Amino acid sequence: MSDILEELEWRGLIAQATDRDAIGAALAAGPVTYYCGFDPTAPSLHHGHLVQLILLRHLQRAGHRPIALVGGATGLIGDPRMSGERTLNDRDVVSQWTERLRRQIEPFLDFEGENAAQMVNNLDWTSGLSAIDFLREVGKHYRLGTMLAKDTVARRLASDEGISFTEFSYQILQGMDFRELHRRYGCTLQTGGNDQWGNLLSGVELIRKADGTGVQAMTTPLITKADGTKFGKSEGGAVWLAPDMMSPYAFYQFWLNTDDGDVERFLKIFTFRSREEIAELVTAVAERPKAREGQRVLAQDVTTLVHGAEATERVERASQALFGRGELQDLDAETLGHAVAELPRGEAVVGESNLVDLLVATGLANGRSAARRTIAEGGAYLNNVKLTDEDHVLAPEDLLAGRWVLLRRGRRNLAVAEVAEVAGA
């Protein structure tokens, strides 16, 4: 088998490992059964989970056997955060989120063939476990000193809110998951984000003490931007994978807006492009930064990976059409709605609002005199068509999807007017 561990390290997908040489040797001898857990503490996976899914996929493509665990049990508790106790979600809600996450994970893995993936739910082996059996069979292997030393736990203990026994016990449950998968399927490697290092070690130690066997764990780095700020839609925000929480258009635009300094790292982590392809794209970004070739490939690949090729094609057509490089009228209402969702907007009335009104209402002109000046200078566009008649009144045929009209001032300043009512109706 190829040196998959070296490839993962080159891509920046490895942060910590229990024994790098042992993991490398096992992966080279292969196949290795490995797993990653995903807790349903929200109705969607996000960019942090995407790193794990890509890691699982790399390993499966190298011939190893993945197990994707959706935490129907651990999701009822939640991993301790650095501050503040989690709100315990209703069981029905967690069950619904578990199913949503399962459907999100499935497209990333191959469930057929010699190294077919498996999907499991830790509620299957915890729901029937009594408190006495849990304490006798699992709890006896844990030492409080080690548990208290975990970074998140130590911080919470030192804070005013402290930490509940419920969240404190999370690391035992995750350790029990690794032991169960080791016993059932011969799983010998767990992966996770670097903030999960303590929980991963919990399983490694439990298996060593309970079964007398050595297993391994490794983590991926937490993704930040080149300037050190958080990786997300906004400071602290998440890039959701579910289209009903972040539209494919907004998802695509997030990657397209990647800073030049982050392109190489993100291409390595979030795409499956070869070293040669990435090197060419990095050179293109350095030599022709305005073309944003690296960002476009990044946005195409990641959007296709998460939402599919058809959604990516729709998004790209919408992105081009907004700036006059495609037909706005050809866009479906949903894609168009997502494309204009973040634009400045104003209200319009069919049969009443004229071009001056629209420019002012959408904020593209600071007053009616400025609007007339823009029109006279040839800088006003309605649905990407240049208009020089300031008295042009909005007509039904101007509407996109029966409700919007796109306004542009100059080349880059966009806004959308939304129909409030039809005059005389």
Q: What is the pLDDT of residues 20-58, one digit of tens each?
A: 999 999 999 989 999 999 999 999 999 999 999 999 999
Query: What CATH topology corresponds to 343-422?
Result: 3.10.290
CA distance 208 to 217: 13
Please give the CATH superfamily to which domain 4-220 belongs: HUPs (3.40.50.620)
| pLDDT of 420 higher than 80 | no
CA distance 337 to 328: 11
Q: Are 220 and 193 in contact, with CB atoms under 8 Å apart?
A: yes
The annotation status of 252 as a binding-site residue, yes or no, is no
| pLDDT of 390 higher than 70 | yes
The annotation status of 35 as a binding-site residue, yes or no, is yes
Q: What's the one-letter identity of residue 412?
A: R
pLDDT of residue 425: 44
Query: What CATH topology corresponds to 248-338?
Result: Tyrosyl-Transfer RNA Synthetase (1.10.240)
Assessment of whether the complete model's pTM goes beyond 0.75: yes
| Domain locations along the chain | 4-220, 248-338, 343-422
The annotation status of 52 as a binding-site residue, yes or no, is no
Q: Is 402 exposed, middle or buried (0-12, 13-18, 19+ CB in 10 A)?
A: exposed
Greater confidence, 120 or 237?
Answer: 120
- The alpha carbon of residue 232 and the mean position of all alpha carbons in its chain are separated, in whole angstroms, by 9
Selection from 372, 406, 364 nearest residue 388 by Cα: 372
Give the N- to C-terminal CA distance of the chain in Å, as an integer.
71
Greater confidence, 326 or 224?
Answer: 224
Q: Residue 322 corresponds to which tokens in the numbers above? A: 């907004």
The annotation status of 185 as a binding-site residue, yes or no, is no
Greater confidence, 230 or 408?
Answer: 408
- pLDDT band for 80, please (50, 70, 90 cuts): confident
| pLDDT of 424 higher than 50 | no
Q: Residue 296 corresponds to which tokens in the numbers above? A: 């476009």
- pLDDT band for 320, please (50, 70, 90 cuts): confident
pLDDT tens-digit profile of 212-244? 999 999 999 998 877 777 776 554 578 999 999
| Mean pLDDT of the region 330-350 | 89
